[in-house]
Amino acid sequence: MTTTRIDNCPICGGKHLIHRLSYTDHISGQTFEILSCSDCKLHITQQAPQLQHMSNFYANSDAMCYQPAKESYDKWIAHLHNDWNKEQVRIVQQEADRASGVLFEMGCKQGFFANTIRNSGWIAHAVEHDATAREYANKRFLLQIEDAGRLFDIHPRSYNVVVAWDTLGEAIDLNRTIDKLSQLIVADGTLIVAFHNATCADATHYGAAWSGWNAPRKRWHFSPEAFEMLVDKHNLEIINCQQSARRAFITALSSQQHKEGKRNIIKTLFKSLRQARASENQTYIIYTLKHKQQ
């Protein structure tokens, strides 16, 4: 398997990349080193597989078959994710200051958000790297999701809103991708980029069990400092920055499960809630961006 070795930070150009931790991927069982740029605090998955090998690092199609939740705990988790999808729609409408429009999503996974916003009256297009997730979205929701490589074929200035919910970190070429996302919005369009903050208290507390790492699918793990430097380089202006308490809780919950398994659900719930609060919900940050005024 050919992998990509990173020696320079793609945001600040610095060479001071230091070992932060070793992360074992729960899908492939392989271990990856997470580095931290000591200059801008971007975190990097070292020796991530090249794109042609990435299919080995997504869940297989059997695991992706739609099964309605049977246990009450699983039903509750499905409900939590459903509420998050509704919150995402509210965020888009509020940040773009419009009730409907044409939206593009980079990395839609199984299409839950794209389907929810479409049901709210929007036209939604999306791309996704994972072929199994794409197939699921297309079959279950009758969406027309294309391979992520098609992103670069889309005509500029095509969308009112472009969103990347924790997927910019999956880009192979980070600078080329943020440039393309910026080109896709119309002159007064809105770009929304969210990510798990690699420098949050949760990431330190859970260490290698933190579900925000999700390596090697995620290659770049942002800090607010690194992300703000990146968008400034690409002529984007930060209009707003917010946290999601719900998303912070979901992340703490899955991290707690990685750490302890599902053995004691009530204990897991309380610990997750306490941890999400202790980290002041800085786990998941949502940025609203627009083109810089010249």
Applying CB under 5 A, the residues found at the interface with Zn ion are 9, 11-12, 14, 37, 39-40, 42
In the complex with Zn ion, the residue whose CB is nearer, 48 or 54, is 48
User: In angstroms, what is the minimal distance from the CB of 12 to Zn ion?
Assistant: 3
The CA distance from 272 to 266, in Å, is 10
Q: How far is the CB of 225 from Zn ion (least distance, A)?
A: 9
Q: How far is the CB of 219 from Zn ion (least distance, A)?
A: 14
In the complex, what is the shortest distance from the CB of residue 223 to Zn ion, in angstroms, rounded to a whole number? 9
Tokens of 264: 């004691």
Smaller CB separation from Zn ion, 34 or 117: 34
Residue with tokens 């801008």: 40
Amino acid at 250: I
Q: Which is nearer to Zn ion, 43 or 129 (CB)?
A: 43
3-state secondary structure of 159: strand
Indicate the residue among 87 and 228 with the shorter CB distance to Zn ion. Answer: 228
- Tell me the closest approach of the beta carbon of residue 13 to Zn ion, in angstroms: 7
For residues 12 and 276, which CB has a smaller minimum distance to Zn ion in the complex?
12
Q: How far apart are CA 1 and CA 8, in angstroms?
A: 22
Least Å from the CB of residue 37 to Zn ion = 3
CB 64 within 8 A of CB 110: yes
**Cα 223 to Cα 161: distance, rounded to the nearest angstrom:** 23
Tell how far CA 67 is from the center of its chain. Answer: 24
What phi and psi, each to the nearest 5 degrees, are found at residue 276? -60, -40
The token pair at 222 is 């942002």
Which CB sits closer to Zn ion, 84 or 227? 227
- Residue of 4, 141, 112, 134 lying closest to 58 (CA atoms): 134
